[in-house]
Structure formats: C-alpha cells, structure tokens
C-alpha cells in the first residue's frame, strides 16, 4: 500500500503545451448565449398564476406547510410576549417622532398586519424602532410646532418658518407624508430589484450610525427625564445646541420627575442585569418589566395626582378606536423627500440585517427584494392610518425568537391584543408620566450605546473600517443624523474605490519541483526563474486604475521601457550606435509573463493598457505574455482584437507553466 502511494505521488500528467486559443479549440469552447426572446419564453413558462401569487404573497405558501398542532402554542406565547413589549415601546418611541403616543400602537397593528402576508422573515418583530422614529421626528419638527404645549394638549395647527415661507401642517400630517414617501421609494426599489443596495451599508457603517443615533435619542430624553423645558432644535449641530440648553436649564430640574425617572431606571436595569437572566433560566419567559413600569407609573400618577401636585407632564389624550383612513398630505412630499430617502435606507437595512441573522441561524431563506415589497406596501397602507415608517426591532425580535416564536403568526396574535387596547384600554394610560416612557427608552438604548466598544475590534481588524466608524459617528452626533449617514456612505464608497485603484500586485516565484508559483515577498522558498519575471495582478483592470497598473508593472519589473527608449535616442543623437547586446536588461530579463487568474473584470481601457505595456517592452526586445485568463477576460481581449487592434502584440497561454515552458524552449534556449 505504501509503495502504491509513493507511485501515485510521483505521477505526472503529460499534455501538449497550450495557448488559450488552442485549448478552446481542442475542448470545444463555446460562449453561452441566451437571446432576449428565449429568456422571455423561459420566464413565462416557469411562471404561472399560482406561482406568481405565491411569490408575491409568501404567506399563501408557508401557511400550507404550517404545523398548527405543534407550532401554534409557541406562536401564541411569543405573540403575547411581544404585544406586551409593543405597548411601552410603541408609546415611548412615538414621542421620539413628536407624534401622539397612540401612534406607536397604530404602528404595531396596521403595517404589521400587512407585513404578515407579504414578508419573508419568520421572526422579525416589525413596528417602532428608536432610530427610525427619531429620524422621522426630525422631519416632523422641521415642518410643525412641538406636539404638546405646556399643559400637555395636542397642537392642531402648526406654523413653521422655513426659507421665509410658512407651512401649516400637523405633526401627524408630516409623519404620514414621510411614511407614504418611504413606502413609495421601497416599491420603486422593489420594481428595479434594488434589494442588493442594502449591501452599501456595511456592518461598520450601520454600527457607527446607530451608535451615534442612540446618542441623539439619549439626549432627546433628558428633557422628560428631568422635567426640563427645552426649545425644539432644528437644523444642523442641534445636538450641541441641546447640550448647551440643558446646561443652561439644569438648575430648573423638576425634582419629582428626576426621582421617578431614577427609580424607574434603577428597577429596570436591576431586572435586566440580574432578575431577567435568572427568570430566563427558570421558566424561559422574560419578565415584562417595561409593561410593569408603565402600569405602575400610570396607577401611581393617577392616584397620587402627580401631574397636579408635582407638575409632572403626562402622556395626555389617548383616543379609543381605530383612526379613520385619510389620504396623506401630498403637498408635503417634495418637502420631506430628502429625509424619506435616508429613512428608507436605514429602515430597510436594519430590517434586512435582523432578518438575515435569524434566517442563517434557523436555516431558511429571506428574499431581499420581496422584503422591499412587503415594507413598501405596509408603509403605504400605514400612511393612511396615522403611522410613521416602521422597521424591525432588535430587542422585540430577539424576544420573539427566544420564547419560541415559529412564524409571523406571532405577529397576528400580537395584533389581536393591540386591537383590544386600541378599542377599549387606551385611555387607561393617559395619566402615565412621560418621564417613565423616557426611562424605558434610555434603558433600551444600552445595547446600542455599548456598540461603541466595537470600535476596538474594527481598529484591530481594519484601520479603514475604524476610520469609517469614527467619521460616521462624529458627523452623526456633531452635525446631523442624515448628514452622518451620507458622510459614512461616501467614506465607505471612497475606501472601496481606493482599494480598486490600488489592488494587490506582486512578482511570483517558482517552487522547485512543482507547478506552484507564489509571491516572492511572502514565500522564501519561491525562486525567480532566470530571464523571466512573472507579474501577478489582483482585482479589476479598468479606466480607473489603468495608470496605476502601468506604474506597478514598471516598479516591480524594475524597467521603464520609455526611459530605456529615451536613453537610446539620446545616444544616437550623439552619434553613438550600439548593438542590442550592449543594453543588458536587469537580471538578463528576456520575458514577462502576466498572471491573469485574479483579474475579475477588464474593460477596453484595461486591454489597451496591457497592449501599450506589451508594445513598449517589445521595443526593447522583452516579450510580454499573458497566462491564466478566465473566459470572460479572454472574450473581452478577443473583442478588442477584433474591433480595436488588427493584431495583439502578446500571446495568451492556458497556464503559467505553459508560458514558462514556451519561453524556455523558444527564447531562453537560443
């Protein structure tokens, strides 16, 4: 057996030396072609009415496979748990959007009901999300007066001065206009299959952006936590202005509000850090501490007369019943367009990130484009029922999956419970102090604020990622949320562009007695072949980096043909005529082989750059060959040969070994 293994290890494959053209001819290379007509026929053949319906409405498909006897109990438990979380979170986050607290409950009902039919994620809990609500609140603040006056009464008419013009809109009108436009943008993205656009927002960018937004959310709650009266800030650098105003008003703290906030925060933090882990191990169901805080705060406020006695601001009017369907104010759409683009990107990216996490963990697929359609339709419907743009919530989604939720049936259970609250129980929460809701928000921000510690990881992994994180975070907190998102996106794209402009290049050496060719700088056992230099280029070769490509070839090869040619011309002008042998190239160089295996894309400008390099070296009697071209790269080169050049000045070999063998037998042997 050992002798047989030794024989196998010594086997060699004998084959002809191949240029790429000969290889294609011998093995019947044929470029795959699909006409547009054929594509349409195949598409129509594969799509019938039934498949179209199941594709557009995924619930039709998965409900048929739903195991009612096994999974329903788990979904009911998950739905009850999530509904309990929806109540305090919805009311608290609605205040971030400068709209009435009941809007948070609307958001957990109307769009979630629509998402049930069209969404593909089984575990995300849709509804309010702090960052999205805060971004919507920015638009609401810009085009309307504060939601509540000093006495807690809702403002019905708002006048905001912008560019010396006056607009009269209520906070709900602005919020629903944003929601409608976000839904429209998401539908447009779905039509053009732009689900992949979410990949533009990297993990680093999302981490930094949400951390910066969490700082905004935290400072926005100081007013309610301490019972301060602060003016609403608009425009850029408002976080700095808010800090200045807090410092000015710090002596006017409402002591009662501060005490209630402190007690609520301490109890919730103690529960989350100690009681919650213990209860999770014992019974697997988390303690609904936020709901307990809301109910307790409501009862204490009602029977202790906190509003009248201590001037603690409460939630105020919460209407019963469902809101009437109303068309959003269309004239607001041009005004909120810029804000809506940023909200569209953030809400979709957050939702898809969470959906993919659960899909990978539990082994099922999520359709990124279908998610766009689901969110778009849900937002459009929600805009008719006084809703802000909705998104997935990390905390609720984790709870929904942790307590055993199996599908979006849990969302239906949650909707039924919230419907009961909207129809009958809503007014119960009217005495609830706003400082309790602010406490819930602040405690919930812990996870997002602690994301700042990830900067250390990003710095160790990649300095570029760390720079993206720092730039995004600083601009988000110092300038504004949407400007920070744009800046982070631009820095990310710039880093990708710089990497494509300056790709990895090296010279390859040969490992003796093998067919391996490895980086000479990294593999000390690799030896350079006398008279041959093998140049390796990794990445795209196009109009952007063609100049860098030329300079890298000259630098690594150690010869600039243009300088050599100019030197010869100067000698000839002086009357000195030398033979070619008198121009001895570095290391006796006779041939350059370019390894094309790592080139992922090449355009005509890139082919032109290779052609120019080959022509320059040919003038100083150095041959330039290509090896290891992938099929698309080879096809582009042949196209350029057909339409641009009459004849290419380089040979193309199937492998580096073929090129080296050819050079040794035809050039170096002379």
DSSP string for 540-590: EESTTTHHHHHHHHHHHHT--HHHHHHHHHHHHHTT----GGGSPPGGG--
What pLDDT is attached to residue 159? 41
What pLDDT is attached to residue 482? 82
Least reliable range by pLDDT among 168-182, 557-571, 574-588: 574-588
Taking 90 as the threshold, does the pLDDT of residue 150 lie above it?
no
What pLDDT is attached to residue 20? 84
Q: Which residues contact 467 (CB under 8 A, 6 or more apart)?
A: 491, 495
What pLDDT is attached to residue 190? 92
Taking 70 as the threshold, does the pLDDT of residue 3 lie above it?
no
Mean local confidence (pLDDT), 132-149: 79
Q: Which of 397, 441, 399 is nearest to 134 (CA)?
A: 441
More confident call, 147 vs 27: 27
Element (H, E) at 626: strand 623-627
Mean local confidence (pLDDT), 557-566: 87
Q: How confident is the model at residue 316 (pLDDT cuts 50, 70, 90)?
A: confident
What pLDDT is attached to residue 156? 38
The 8-class DSSP code of residue 10 comes to T
Q: How confident is the model at residue 21 (pLDDT cuts 50, 70, 90)?
A: confident
- Cα separation, 483 vs 636, in Å, equals 41
Taking 70 as the threshold, does the pLDDT of residue 164 lie above it?
no
Q: How confident is the model at residue 38 (pLDDT cuts 50, 70, 90)?
A: low
Taking 90 as the threshold, does the pLDDT of residue 506 lie above it?
yes
Mean local confidence (pLDDT), 90-108: 92
Taking 50 as the threshold, does the pLDDT of residue 8 lie above it?
no
pLDDT in tens, 198-254: 677 788 888 898 899 889 889 988 989 999 888 877 778 888 888 999 999 999 999
Can you say whether residue 363 is alpha, beta or left, with left for phi > 0 and alpha for psi between -120 and 50 degrees?
Answer: left
More confident call, 156 vs 600: 600
Taking 60 as the threshold, does the pLDDT of residue 165 lie above it?
no
Q: Which residues contact 527 (CB under 8 A, 6 or more apart)?
A: 509, 510, 511, 512
More confident call, 661 vs 581: 661
Which range scores top for mean pLDDT: 65-74, 236-245, 592-601?
592-601
Q: Which of 557, 566, 553 is nearest to 590 (CA)?
A: 557
Decide: 119 and 392 in contact? Cβ < 8 Å.
Answer: no
Taking 60 as the threshold, does the pLDDT of residue 154 lie above it?
no
C-alpha radius of gyration, the chain, whole number: 33
What pLDDT is attached to residue 157? 40
What pLDDT is attached to residue 151? 38
Size of the chain, expressed as the number of residues it contains: 670
Mean local confidence (pLDDT), 274-280: 81
Taking 80 as the threshold, does the pLDDT of residue 390 lie above it?
yes
Taking 60 as the threshold, does the pLDDT of residue 49 lie above it?
no
Least reliable range by pLDDT among 489-493, 577-581, 666-670: 577-581
More confident call, 402 vs 457: 457
Taking 60 as the threshold, does the pLDDT of residue 579 lie above it?
no
Q: For residue 68, count other CB atoms closer than 10 A to its CB.
A: 10
- Cα separation, 102 vs 244, in Å, equals 31
Q: For residue 408, count other CB atoms closer than 10 A to its CB.
A: 28
Element (H, E) at 482: helix 481-501
Q: How confident is the model at residue 657 (pLDDT cuts 50, 70, 90)?
A: very high
- CA 86 vs. chain centroid, Å, equals 26
Q: How confident is the model at residue 395 (pLDDT cuts 50, 70, 90)?
A: confident
The 8-class DSSP code of residue 364 comes to -
What pLDDT is attached to residue 31? 77
Percent of the chain with pLDDT over 70: 87
Which range scores top for mean pLDDT: 184-188, 214-218, 483-487, 612-616?
184-188
pLDDT in tens, 624-645: 999 999 999 999 988 887 776 6
Mean local confidence (pLDDT), 583-608: 85
Q: Which residues contact 592 (CB under 8 A, 6 or more apart)?
A: 532, 533, 534, 535, 553, 557, 617, 622, 623, 624, 625
Q: What is the 3-state secondary structure (H, E, C) of 160-207?
A: EEECCEEEECCHHHHHHHHHHHHHHHHHHHHHCCCHHHHHHCCHHHHH
3-state secondary structure of 652: strand
């Amino acid at each position: 057996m050992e002798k047989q293994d030794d024989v196998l290890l010594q086997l060699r494959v004998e084959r002809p030396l191949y240029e790429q053209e000969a290889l294609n001819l011998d093995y019947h290379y044929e470029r795959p072609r699909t006409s547009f007509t054929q594509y349409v026929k195949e598409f129509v053949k594969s799509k019938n009415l039934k498949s179209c319906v199941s594709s557009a409405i995924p619930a039709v498909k998965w409900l048929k496979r739903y195991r009612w006897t096994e999974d329903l109990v788990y979904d009911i438990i998950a739905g009850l748990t999530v509904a309990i979380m929806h109540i305090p979170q919805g009311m608290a986050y609605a205040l971030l959007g400068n709209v009435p607290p009941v809007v948070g409950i609307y958001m957990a009902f109307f769009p979630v009901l629509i998402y049930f039919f069209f969404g593909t994620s089984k575990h995300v809990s849709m509804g309010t999300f702090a960052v999205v609500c805060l971004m919507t609140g920015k638009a609401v603040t810009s085009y309307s007066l504060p939601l509540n006056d000093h006495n807690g009464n809702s403002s019905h008419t708002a006048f905001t001065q912008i560019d010396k013009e006056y607009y009269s809109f209520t906070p709900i009108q602005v919020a629903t206009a944003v929601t409608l436009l976000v839904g429209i943008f998401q539908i447009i993205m779905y039509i053009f299959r732009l689900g992949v656009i979410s990949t533009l927002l990297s993990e680093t960018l999302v981490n930094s952006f949400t951390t910066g937004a969490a700082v905004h959310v935290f400072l926005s709650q100081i007013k309610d936590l301490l019972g301060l009266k602060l003016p609403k800030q608009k425009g850029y650098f408002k976080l700095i202005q808010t800090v200045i105003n807090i410092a000015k008003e710090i002596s006017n703290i409402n002591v009662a509000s501060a005490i209630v906030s402190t007690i609520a925060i301490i109890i919730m933090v103690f529960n989350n850090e100690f009681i919650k882990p213990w209860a999770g191990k014992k019974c697997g169901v988390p303690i609904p501490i936020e709901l307990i805080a809301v109910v307790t705060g409501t009862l204490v406020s009602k029977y202790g007369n906190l509003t009248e006695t201590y001037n603690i601001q409460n939630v105020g009017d919460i209407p019963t019943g469902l809101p009437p369907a109303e068309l959003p104010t269309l004239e607001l759409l041009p005004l909120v367009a810029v804000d809506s683009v940023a909200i569209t990107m953030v809400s979709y990216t957050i939702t898809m990130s969470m959906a993919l996490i659960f899909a990978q963990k539990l082994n099922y697929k999520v359709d990124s484009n279908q998610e766009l359609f689901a969110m778009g339709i849900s937002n459009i419907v929600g805009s008719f029922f006084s809703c802000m743009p909705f998104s997935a919530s990390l905390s609720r989604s984790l709870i929904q999956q942790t307590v055993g939720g199996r599908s979006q049936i849990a969302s239906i259970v949650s909707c039924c419970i919230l419907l009961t609250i909207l129809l009958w129980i809503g007014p119960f929460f009217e005495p609830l102090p706003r400082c309790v809701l602010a406490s819930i928000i602040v405690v919930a921000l812990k996870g997002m604020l602690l994301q700042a510690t990830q900067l250390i990881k990003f710095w160790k992994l990649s300095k570029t990622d760390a720079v993206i994180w720092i730039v995004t975070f600083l601009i988000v907190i110092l300038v504004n949320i949407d400007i920070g998102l744009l800046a982070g996106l631009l820095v990310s794209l710039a880093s990708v562009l710089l990497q494509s402009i300056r790709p990895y290049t090296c010279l390859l050496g040969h490992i003796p007695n093998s067919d391996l060719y490895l980086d000479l700088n990294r593999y000390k056992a690799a030896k350079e072949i006398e008279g041959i230099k093998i140049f390796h280029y990794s990445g795209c070769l196009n109009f952007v980096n063609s100049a860098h490509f030329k300079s890298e070839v000259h630098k690594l090869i150690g010869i600039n043909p243009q300088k050599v040619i100019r030197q010869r011309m100067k000698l000839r002008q002086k009357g000195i005529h030398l033979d070619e042998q008198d121009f001895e190239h570095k290391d006796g160089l006779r041939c350059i082989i370019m390894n094309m295996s790592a080139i992922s894309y090449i355009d005509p400008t890139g082919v032109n750059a290779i052609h120019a390099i080959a022509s320059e070296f040919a003038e100083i009697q150095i041959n330039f060959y290509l090896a290891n071209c992938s099929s698309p790269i080879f096809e582009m080169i042949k196209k350029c040969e057909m339409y641009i050049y009459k004849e290419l000045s380089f040979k193309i070999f199937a492998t580096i070994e073929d090129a080296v063998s050819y050079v040794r037998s035809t050039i170096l042997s002379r």
